[in-house]
Amino acid sequence: MDGLGGPTTPHRGIEAALRRDRLVVALSLAGVVALAWLYLWRQAASMHAGDLSGMAMAMPSMPAMDPAVLALTFVMWVVMMAGMMLPSAAPTILFYGAMVRKHAERGTVYPAVWVFVSGYLLLWTGFSLAAVLLQVALEHAGLLTSTMASASNVLNGALLVAAGVYQLTPLKDLCLNKCRNPVQFFMTHWRPGKAGALRMGIAQGAYCLGCCWMLMLLLFVVGVMNLAWVALIAAFVFVEKLLPGGRLTSRLAGVALIVVGSAILVAAA
């Protein structure tokens, strides 16, 4: 004990180190998200200004497409998924970081937070590849505009209705529950070692993908690089995964999507 009868200096030192480590992880995540949004903003600005260096954002016609354009488009999707999904995954990531620190106090070394995060982002990288392939298919079918928005009201309506229906399914409930309860997730999915941390990150990413993949496809409704739409979807994901009443919000959004999508399909008939 110190002279005032308070906790020992080493104990205070450990608490200070824990707070510092938590702050480092939180600031690192915030930095990655900020850089991702800065990249997206610059690319969107380049596209709207007609700068050819930003043409990775506006898919060219199929005959002009080349591997470099596809690679840059893939990078755009990966960065966008990181910017949209990491904020809502932050509590789970910080919880894993807390476990790493707590066990370090007891002399047990857990894999670093970046290993877990790498697994999470690896899963969303796979989704980004699938999104690029879908984008190419839609472009080939003449269903995309130069801003990567759907040129078909029927497709728009179908995407909205499909996303709304998915919001009401048991699979959505299961995945959302796993995303909202990091303690339960780690209790049921714990794996030791670096490979285990990577696998847990992939598993958490899979649940987040199962929760949000249809919402991500709504990016095609008004344009993949419409940053207001991107921000709106990211904010909704944050609300339904982290805030109280998230499940009710998810269901209400599902009903609203079905109504709007149905109205668009009726008008297009």
Tokens describing residue 53: 């260096």
Pick from 80-94, 106-120, 210-224, 243-257: least confident = 106-120
Asked whether residue 142 is domain-assigned, the answer is yes
Query: How far is the C-alpha of 215 from the C-alpha of 163, rounded, in Å?
Result: 6
The pLDDT of residue 65:
61
pLDDT band at 20 (very low <50, low <70, confident <90, very high): low
For the chain, what is the mean pLDDT? 83
User: In this prediction, what percent of the chain has a pLDDT beyond 90?
Assistant: 48
181 assigned to some structural domain: yes
Is the pLDDT higher at 118 or at 103?
118
Per the structure, the count of domains in the chain is: 1
pTM: 0.81
- List, for residues 189-238, the tens digit of each pLDDT value: 988 888 999 999 999 999 999 999 999 999 999 888 888 889 999 999 99
Q: Is the pLDDT of residue 47 over 70?
A: no
The pLDDT of residue 8 is 45
**Among 58-72, 149-163, 215-229, which is the least confidently predicted range?**
58-72
Residue 122: which domain range? 9-268
Q: Report the alpha-carbon distance of residue 164 to residue 35 in Å, rounded.
A: 31
Positive or negative, the CA dihedral 204, 207, 212, 214 is positive
Residue that the structure tokens 């109280």 belong to: 244
Percentage above 70 pLDDT, the chain:
81
Rg, the chain, Cα only: 21
Task: Say if residues 46 and 195 touch (Cβ distance below 8 Å).
Answer: no
With bands split at pLDDT 50, 70 and 90, how would you rate the model's confidence at 57? very low
Query: C-alpha distances in angstroms, 152 versus 77, 162, 220, 226?
Result: 22, 15, 10, 17
Question: Quick check: is 249 in a domain?
Answer: yes
Q: Looking at the domain assignment, is residue 2 inside a domain?
A: no
Measured torsion, CA atoms of residues 142, 145, 147, 150, in degrees rounded to the nearest 10: -80
* Residue 1 within any structural domain of the chain: no
| Residue whose pair of structure tokens reads 């078909």 in the numeric block | 152
pLDDT for residue 23: 73
Q: Can you give the pLDDT at residue 104? A: 62
Highest mean pLDDT among 58-62, 140-144, 151-155: 151-155
| Inside any domain, residue 3 | no
* Least reliable range by pLDDT among 54-68, 98-112, 165-179: 54-68
- pLDDT value at residue 267: 92
Nearest one of 19, 46, 4, 23 to 225, comparing CA atoms: 46
d(CA 209, CA 205): 6
Q: What is the largest CA-CA distance in the chain?
A: 81
CB neighbourhood size of 115 (10 A): 20
DSSP code, position 53? G
